[in-house]
A and B are shown apart, each in its own frame.
Chain A
Amino acid sequence: MRMRRIGIIVTAIALVGVACGGGGGGGGAGAPTELNALVWCDHTDPELLRPFEEANGVKVNVKDYEGTGVALGILEQSQPGDWDVFVVDSVDVPRVAQAGWLAPLDPNDFPWDDFFPEVRMPEMHYVDDTLYAVPEKFGYNTIAYNSEKVDPEDMRDLQSLWDPTYRGRIAVYDYYIPTMELVAIALGIEPSEITEDDLPAIADKLAELKEQAALTGDVVTTQTALATGEVDIIVGGGEYVTAVLESENPALDWVLPDQGGIRWQQAIGVVATSEKKDLATKFVQYIVSPEGQARLATSSCYWAMPANSKAPLSAEEKEILRWDEQPGFIANSDPYFIPDPELDRKMLDVWTEFLGG
Chain B
Amino acid sequence: MTEEGRSTARGWAFAGPALAWTLVFFVVPMALVLAYSGFRRIGGSLETTLSLANYERALGTPVFRSALANSIEVGLLTVAVSVLVAYPAAYLLAYRVPARWGRLLLALAVLPFWTSYVVRSYSWLLVLAREGVVNRALLGLGVVQEPITLANTRTATVIGFVHFFTMLMTLTIYASLVQIPASYRKAARDLGASGWRTLVHVTLPLSVPGVVVGAFLTFVLAIGDYITPQILGGARELLLPQAIMLQVQRTGDFPMAAALSVVLLAVIAVAYVPAARRFSLVTR
Is A251 located at the chain interface by the 8 A CB criterion?
no
- Residues in A neighbouring B280, C-beta threshold 8 A: 4, 7
A18: chain B residues within 8 A (beta carbon): 220-221, 224, 264-265, 268
Cβ contacts under 8 Å, A10 to chain B: 172, 213, 217
Among the listed stretches A192-200, A240-248, A348-356, which one makes contact with chain B, having 4 or more residues with CB under 8 Å of it? A348-356
Asked if B175 contacts A6 (CB within 8 A), the reply is yes
Q: Given the interface contacts A18-B224, A214-B152, A216-B236, does A352 sit within 8 Å of B246 by beta carbon?
A: yes
CA distance A21 to B209 in the complex (A): 27
Q: Is A130 an interface residue (CB 8 A)?
A: no
For the residues of B in contact with A, the DSSP-based class is: helix
Check if A11 sits within 8 Å of B242, measured CB to CB. Answer: no
Give chain B nearest CB distance to A343 CB in angstroms: 11
| A228-B209 CB under 8 A given contacts A95-B44, A341-B43, A348-B246 | no
Interface string of A211-227 (1 = CB under 8 A from B): 00011111001001100
Q: Are B236 and A215 in contact (CB under 8 A)?
A: yes
* Segment at the B interface, from A61-69, A112-120, A132-140: A61-69
B63 to chain A, nearest CB (A): 4
Any chain A CB within 8 A of the CB of B249? yes
Asked whether, in the complex, the Cβ of A15 is within 8 Å of the Cβ of B242, the reply is no
Distance from A82 Cβ to chain B, minimum over Cβ atoms (Å): 18
A215 to B238, CA, bound (A): 12
Give the docked Cα–Cα distance between A168 and B148 (Å): 11
| Chain A residues positioned under 8 Å from B226 (CB to CB) | 21
Confirm or deny: A175 has a beta carbon within 8 angstroms of a beta carbon on chain B.
yes
CB of A214 to closest CB in B, whole Å? 6
Among A2, A7, A69, A356, the residue within 8 A (CB) of B250 is A69
Given contacts A19-B265, A348-B246, contact A7 B63 (CB under 8 A): no
Interface residues on B, range: 35 or more
Residues from chain A with Cβ under 8 Å of B179 in the complex: 2-3
Q: Are B63 and A353 in contact (CB under 8 A)?
A: yes
Given contacts A4-B280, A7-B209, A168-B149, contact A348 B235 (CB under 8 A): no
8 other A-B residue contacts (CB within 8 Å) besides A15-B220, A17-B220, A357-B63: A2-B179, A6-B175, A10-B217, A14-B217, A69-B253, A168-B149, A230-B130, A349-B63
B interface residues with partner A (beta carbon < 8 Å): 25-26, 29-30, 33, 42-44, 61, 63-64, 66-67, 70, 122, 125-126, 129-132, 149, 151-152, 172, 175-176, 179, 209-210, 213, 216-217, 220-221, 224, 226, 230-231, 234-238, 242-243, 246-254, 261, 264-265, 268, 272, 276, 279-283
5 tightest Cβ-Cβ pairs between the two chains A and B: A69-B252, A215-B234, A341-B43, A356-B238, A7-B281
30 A-B residue pairings within 8 Å (CB atoms)? A3-B209, A3-B213, A4-B280, A4-B281, A7-B213, A8-B281, A8-B282, A14-B220, A14-B221, A19-B29, A20-B26, A21-B224, A68-B252, A99-B44, A174-B235, A175-B250, A214-B234, A215-B152, A215-B236, A217-B234, A225-B152, A225-B234, A228-B125, A228-B131, A352-B63, A352-B243, A355-B246, A356-B63, A356-B237, A356-B243
